[in-house]
Amino acid sequence: MSSLFLRTLREDPADAEVPSHKLLVRAGYVRRVAPGIYSWLPLGLRVLRNIERVVREEMDAIGAQEIHFPALLPREPYEATGRWTEYGPNLFRLKDRRGGDYLLGPTHEELFTQVVKGEYSSYKDYPVMLYQIQNKYRDEARPRAGILRGREFLMKDSYSFDLTDDGLAESYRLHRDAYVRIFDRLGLEYVVVKATSGAMGGSASEEFLAVAPTGEDTYVRSPGGYAANVEAVTTPAPQARPLDGLPAAQAHHTPDTPTIESLVAFLNEKAGLGRTFTAADTLKNVLVKSRLPGKDEWTLLASACRAIARST
C-alpha cells in the first residue's frame, strides 16, 4: 500500500452525472482522458481483470474458445454486409497513408464469420463457439455516465456456428446459462428481458440488465413473468369476444366528461345503464377536423386510439 499508485479525491468530478462515475473517479479507479475515453489505474484494472477472469472461466466451461481480432479493421468486410453505411456517424473511420479505408471496430461479427469461413471447409468441423474480449469503438454523440457510455470500451462477444436450428438453440441456451452464472458470481442484481437486436441483427435477443436507479435502459415487467426493454415491448390484441347474446350497442350523449374519471362517474350516476362501469371499460379516441390551406373542404381524422385504462 505504501507504493500503490493511487490518489483519491475529496470532491465529485465536475463532469460526473451518475454515482458509479463519481465513485470510480474519487476512489482512484479510472481517470478521464477525453469525453468517453478513460484510463484504468491499478485498482480499477485489478477489478477489470478479475471480471475478465470470471467471464473466461464460464465461457471456457461451455466449450467456447477464445480468439483475438485487431481493433483496426479494413472497410471491405463491413461494406459487404452493408454496415459500413448502416452504422452512420457512429463509426470511427480513417485512412492509411495509401488512402485505404479503415475503421475502429464497433463489433466483430464480420471478422468472426470471415475467419471461420477461411479456416473450416467441411460440415464435420461444426459446431464451433468462439469468443473474444476486445476493445470496441463507437463515436457516441453524447458520451456520458462514465464507463457506461464510452467511445472506447471493453466487450466480450461470442458467436456460435451451428448446422441446425436445434444446434443453434442449444448454443443459445449454453450462452444464456453461462451469463446467468457470470452475473451470479459477480453478485449483481439483474433481470433478463426481451430486447431488440439493433444493427447487429438476429431473430431473438435478450438483455441482462443490472437493476439500478440510474443507467442506460428502462424495462417493464408484469406479474406474469414477462419482462422487456421498453424498445421491445409488445402488446398483442386480446382475443375477439363473441357478441352473441349481448345487448345492442347504444349511443349516449356525455357532456362535461373531459376525463375518463368523469365519464365513468357519468355512466354510473346518470346514464342508468343497470351495471357498474370502471375505467377499464373505456377507450378514448381523439377526433381532429382539418383542411388544407386555401381549401374549403374539411376532413375528419381520428388519431390513434389510445387505451386510457389498464387492461384487466
The pLDDT of residue 201 is 56
| Least-confidence region, from 196-200, 233-237, 266-270, 291-295 | 196-200
- Give span(s): CATH 3.30.930.10, the chain: 19-188
Write 180-188 long-range contacts (CB < 8 A, 24+): 181/58, 182/54, 182/55, 182/58, 183/208, 183/210, 185/54, 185/58, 186/51, 186/54
The pLDDT of residue 307 is 40
The pLDDT of residue 200 is 54
pLDDT band with cut points at 50, 70 and 90 for residue 271: low
pLDDT digit string (tens) for 286-310?
Answer: 788 888 888 888 888 876 444 433 3
pLDDT digit string (tens) for 35-74?
Answer: 899 999 999 999 999 999 999 999 999 999 999 999 999 9
Q: Is the pLDDT of residue 311 over 60?
A: no
pLDDT band with cut points at 50, 70 and 90 for residue 15: confident
Q: How are the residues of the chain apportioned to helix, strand and coil, as percentages rounded to the nearest 5?
A: 30, 20, 45
State the Cα–Cα distance between residues 229 and 185, nearest whole angstrom: 24
Which CATH entry fits the domain spanning 19-188: 3.30.930.10, 3.40.50.450, 3.40.640.10, 3.40.50.720? Answer: 3.30.930.10
